[in-house]
Structure 1
Amino acid sequence: MPSRRHFANRLASALNRMLGGEAAGGIILIAAAAAAILAANSPLQHDYHDLFHDAWGWTPIARLDTLHLWINDGLMAVFFFVVGLEIKREILDGELSNAKRRRLPVMAAAAGMAAPALVYLLVAGSNGPVQRGWAIPAATDIAFAVGVLGLLGKRVPASLRLFLLTVAIVDDLGAVAIIALFYTAQIDLAWGIAALLVLAALIAANRRGVRSYPLFIALGLTLWFCVLNSGIHATIAGVVFAFTIPLRIGRRGDSMLLRLEHALVPWNSFLIVPLFGFANAGVALAGIGVDGLTDPVPLGIALGLFVGKQAGIFAALVIADRIGFAPRPAGTSWTQLWGMAVLCGIGFTMSLFIGALAFPAHPALIEEAKLGVLIGSLLSSLLGYAILRLASYRPA
């Protein structure tokens, strides 16, 4: 009887860790991805595809005539808005606000984006349409990676968790810059000017101390609409809009930025990101054998995430520590830092998003990219978890 109670307590504790706290978002995202793969490989595969890709008879915005477009260009703008809020807060009042503290995460994130891109190009080649996928393995999925850390509980030092979050935030900023610079179609000048005028109005409202939520939201939606029609990807509007939100602390001890971030993070974690995962992770596995897995695009992405990410980040940490540029995070061992670097190879959300942008005229390559992202992210999550699970509780 006592043994049964002990087992029940351990099971309850494990479920609490999985479904509560920071692990919850990652678990829900995993479930959404699994559901998408099941749907795409079941008798419902045509219904699954039609649900997201069939054109609507009527839509309030002509450019968004499918559910898939509304999710990727609409809801994901909210995701990028929250990412922008986190980046601004970290730069002005967080780990990235101090020049000495931001040295290591910036260096690690830069190496962690360059190395996977290089691995991809070495495997997939730099000619033809496949070269546009170089940025797919360069991104890290915060929700997924933090979810794995949450499952480990107190085995992971707080400094390591904070460092991973900081690296992932810098990584997100780099991914946003890549989308804006390399995955933007021809720009419609009139809509681009309109977007700049709306942005100027947002900046003016911030500088004048305006604290009207309806005004900022109305201007933010207008900015998104202008950017959507300009040819620049609409999600960039979310980040730019976030940078105009005031962070100044008011009389009540909070700010517009902190309130919006606090209000939107749950929607991001439990609705937007899982819905995006369900809409984009469904890849048909029928007919894919060993030869399919070794095609240039899926192999390049998988190796970029699984090998390139950990190699780039861990090498940057070792070099920075050895030359005295920046010491490793306090209270961490090299084994734990290696495990953290491996977890950064989980590129799910942002990698799938960039994959859809990289091959707009090649649906087959988009499916191959999904396969590479899923394999690379799965291998990174399993190995990263195993390393941190077996790592010493105390730094070496």
Structure 2
Amino acid sequence: MRNYTFLSMFRKYVNSSLILIIVTIVAMIVANSGWGDAYRSLWEKPVSFSIGNFNLFSHGKESLSLMDFINDFLMALFFFSVGLEIKREILVGELSTLKKALLPIIGACGGMAIPVLIFFLTCPDDALMLRGTAIPMATDIAFSLGVLSMFGKRVPIGLKIFLATLAVADDLGGILVIAVFYSSELHLQYLAYAGILLVILAIGNRRHVISKMFYIVIGTFVWYSLLNSGIHATIAGVVVAFFVPARPGVSALHFVKHLRNKINRFPIDQATTNHKGTTILSNEQIMLLKNIEHASDRTISPLQDLEDALQNPINYFVIPVFAFANAGVNLEGISMDSLLNGVGLAVFLGLAVGKFVGVFSFSWLAVKLGFVQLPQGCNWKNFFSVCMLTGIGFTVSMFIADLSYYNIGIEGGTLLNDAKLGILCGSIVAGVLGWILLAVNLPRQDLGEHNEDLP
């Protein structure tokens, strides 16, 4: 198992950020090539998983399109992973005490409030356009940590932890916004189903059920119920994650004692080996080894086990597929005017300017008022620089853009394209400026032994 700290988060996201860049470029090329029509029609293909008359991937008895499947189901897995991460950090990590969490949370609040204000002031008073007010709220954790990791041991540990914690708090804010503002007409029958299933999960957690399949199967039906209830289905991922037990079935100390006992009893001389080196274990040996394997599985909590198991599928499949499906902005008929007015400009300014201004100003004020202190090893110059990286808003920003404008007619399609262009350009500007500021303001030499184990 991996080290479950915010420092390990950097290693986790470095490679995935590179893949995201490649996938985004490929999506842009394909969407604006001779394959563009095929690329766009691909996402309208129906997806189903049926048993008799029941179709798991259906909404209102209509099969989900491939785009809906990606945005509603695969992204629910992404938010399930985020939920596990948030729960872990609330229990034992950087969100476990107010002292640890306060500065990143204050910064995240500023980083959500100011971009929303800029969007609202920049966009014309148009109800359809204002559906996307929340688009520039998010910080993409993979891209932002990926850029910061390029400076290796020059980056103070406290600065890395601040950015990682703020990105998680941002995700939590985005989840709340999706739950409150992007739900449609509610269907009480399906809400009741979801409520009953969540009660079952709560009972399972309370009675220390540690079977991961229990939470996966019931969680899948929670997702289906919420999908058809009018609440956005991705919220199911976060809600279910908070019911997954963080307590292992067997303590580490008990497991070590158990392991020593089994090893001492292991009959080494019972195995049979032929002249070719093939070894056949005795039934007693097999039973002892399986007993040790079962005990080791119970020593890892379901929360950590699922978080670890989902890490590669999320980083190397779910998010790249989401990026390929959503980053293919059709540039036909789009000019720089799209970035000089309306949704494109509002999103661009919200990310490139609003995120930085919000995070830095709220954090600066909190420090000056004595509520919090700067992260360990940081000064105002490098803190100022890392705040610029918070304007890299890709995955969750793209997701909220789709929730805002997808499937609401021709005008909605145009606004969605403008929003995606604003996200791409705003994120690039924030990333490049952040990199330049960090290159200038970080220490010229590695920080030594305190950063020894960091990427």
Answer with 286-295 or 223-232: which moved more: 286-295
* Residue 47 (structure 1) shift: 1.1
2:35 counterpart residue number:
44
| Partner AA of 2:309 in structure 1 | A
CA contact (8 A) 1:21 1:150 kept: no
1:260 counterpart residue number:
306
1:62 counterpart residue number:
58
CA contact (8 A) 1:293 1:299 kept: yes
| Partner AA of 1:98 in structure 2 | T
User: CA–CA distance in 1 between the matches of 2:323 and 2:39?
Assistant: 13
After the TM superposition, which residues 301-316 of structure 1 pair with which residues of structure 2 at under 5 Å, given as runs?
301-316=347-362
Task: Note if 1:354 corresponds to 2:345.
Answer: no
* Residue 65 (structure 1) shift: 2.9
* Residue 255 (structure 1) shift: 1.0
1:10 counterpart residue number:
none
Task: Note if 1:227 corresponds to 2:273.
Answer: no
CA RMSD of superposed structures (Å): 1.8
Task: Note if 1:93 corresponds to 2:112.
Answer: no
User: CA–CA distance in 2 between the matches of 1:237 and 1:65?
Assistant: 17
* Residue 196 (structure 1) shift: 0.5
* Residue 214 (structure 1) shift: 1.7
2:363 to 317, 323, 327: 317
2:121 counterpart residue number:
122
Task: Note if 1:371 corresponds to 2:427.
Answer: no
| Partner AA of 1:312 in structure 2 | G
User: CA–CA distance in 2 between the matches of 1:89 and 1:217?
Assistant: 18
User: CA–CA distance in 1 between the matches of 2:209 and 2:47?
Assistant: 39
User: CA–CA distance in 2 between the matches of 1:123 and 1:285?
Assistant: 23
* Residue 394 (structure 1) shift: 7.2
Answer with 249-258 or 363-372: which moved more: 249-258
SS at match of 1:345: coil
SS at match of 2:314: helix
2:136 counterpart residue number:
137
CA contact (8 A) 1:88 1:243 kept: yes
User: CA–CA distance in 2 between the matches of 1:324 and 1:394?
Assistant: 30
* Residue 56 (structure 1) shift: 5.7
Answer with 386-395 or 113-122: which moved more: 386-395
Q: Which has the higher helix share?
A: 1
1:78 counterpart residue number:
77
Task: Note if 1:26 corresponds to 2:11.
Answer: no
CA contact (8 A) 1:26 1:147 kept: yes
Q: TM-score with structure 2 length normalisation?
A: 0.80
Task: Note if 1:327 corresponds to 2:318.
Answer: no
SS at match of 1:97: coil
Change (3 A) 1:92 1:374: same
1:272 counterpart residue number:
318
| Partner AA of 1:374 in structure 2 | L
User: CA–CA distance in 2 between the matches of 1:216 and 1:259?
Assistant: 12
User: CA–CA distance in 2 between the matches of 1:80 and 1:142?
Assistant: 13
* Residue 221 (structure 1) shift: 0.8
2:387 counterpart residue number:
341
In the alignment, structure 2 segments of 5+ residues that lack a partner are 1-10, 253-298, 446-455
Structure 1 stretches of 4+ moved >6 Å: none
CA contact (8 A) 1:23 1:149 kept: no
Change (3 A) 1:236 1:58: closer
User: CA–CA distance in 2 between the matches of 1:310 and 1:97?
Assistant: 26
* Residue 290 (structure 1) shift: 2.4
CA contact (8 A) 1:84 1:243 kept: yes
User: CA–CA distance in 1 between the matches of 2:244 and 2:170?
Assistant: 21
| Partner AA of 1:160 in structure 2 | L
User: CA–CA distance in 2 between the matches of 1:134 and 1:21?
Assistant: 30
Change (3 A) 1:126 1:105: farther
| Partner AA of 1:304 in structure 2 | G
* % identical aligned pairs: 43
Change (3 A) 1:21 1:390: farther
Cα deviation per residue 1:101-154 (whole Å; 9 max; x = unaligned)? Answer: 111111110010000000111111343211111100001111111111122211
User: CA–CA distance in 2 between the matches of 1:190 and 1:297?
Assistant: 37
| Partner AA of 1:78 in structure 2 | L
User: CA–CA distance in 2 between the matches of 1:136 and 1:215?
Assistant: 35
* Residue 58 (structure 1) shift: 8.5
SS at match of 1:331: coil
| Number of residue pairs matched by the alignment | 377
Cα deviation per residue 1:344-364 (whole Å; 9 max; x = unaligned)? Answer: 111100000000111231121
In the alignment, structure 1 segments of 5+ residues that lack a partner are 1-19
* Residue 185 (structure 1) shift: 0.3
